[in-house]
Amino acid sequence: MARVSEIIFPRMTGLVITCDSQGKPNIAAFSFLMPISFEPKYVAFAVSPRRKTYENLREVEEFVLAIPPSEMIEKVWACGTKSGRETDKFVLLGLETVRAKTVKPPLLRSMPVQLECRMELFKEFGDHWLVVGRVLKEHVEKLDFQPVLHYSKNVFTTVSGRMVL
């Protein structure tokens, strides 16, 4: 039987930046991700309790959701496969941070879209936890870019074009 991630695809991939209570940031890639409300704006993603992101959200109920361009695919892959417990992924990948306006976790420099969020729901569903965050501040540098779309494991795709009805 196929995994749910192999039958619902492609999925937008985002980078979630969190920090622990001491302010040490972590970054991880997530494709179990979606918007859930226009006004007020809410976004959601699912996280495994085995991930450092889960631990950080237990300590600091805030996060930044960054939507990376397809040119960052190797860095996105590393953010999803390297553990923040053993590796400072910001240093490893040369990711520069800047102070966020409303949340403790930092933003990334030169990212097309970033959302500063406060967690409002953290609930277990099967082997993952659903994280719902209210968007407190938007940073939109550009919308005309190719996002990273995830199929499963190390298989990704890109947007080939728009269909307008």
Task: Enter the pTM of the model.
Answer: 0.95
* Per-residue confidence (pLDDT) for residue 117, from 0 to 100: 99
CATH class of 4-157: mainly beta
SS3 71: helix
In 27-88, alpha helices (H): 52-59, 73-81
Point out which residues pair with 115 in neighbouring strands: 65, 138
What's the CA gap between 65 and 29, in Å, rounded?
10
Give the helix ranges, DSSP H, for the chain: 4-7, 52-59, 73-81, 89-93
For 164, phi then psi, to 5°, come to -115, 130
More confident residue, 114 or 160: 114
pLDDT per position as a tens digit, 46-82: 999 999 999 999 999 999 999 999 999 999 999 999 9
Q: What is the mean pLDDT of the chain?
A: 94
Q: Are 17 and 60 in contact (CB under 8 A)?
A: no
Task: Quick: pLDDT tens for 9-50.
Answer: 889 999 999 999 999 999 999 999 999 999 999 999 999 999
Instruction: Give me the percent of the chain exceeding a pLDDT of 70.
Output: 98
pLDDT of residue 163: 67
Amino acid 142 reads K
List the domain boundaries for the chain.
4-157
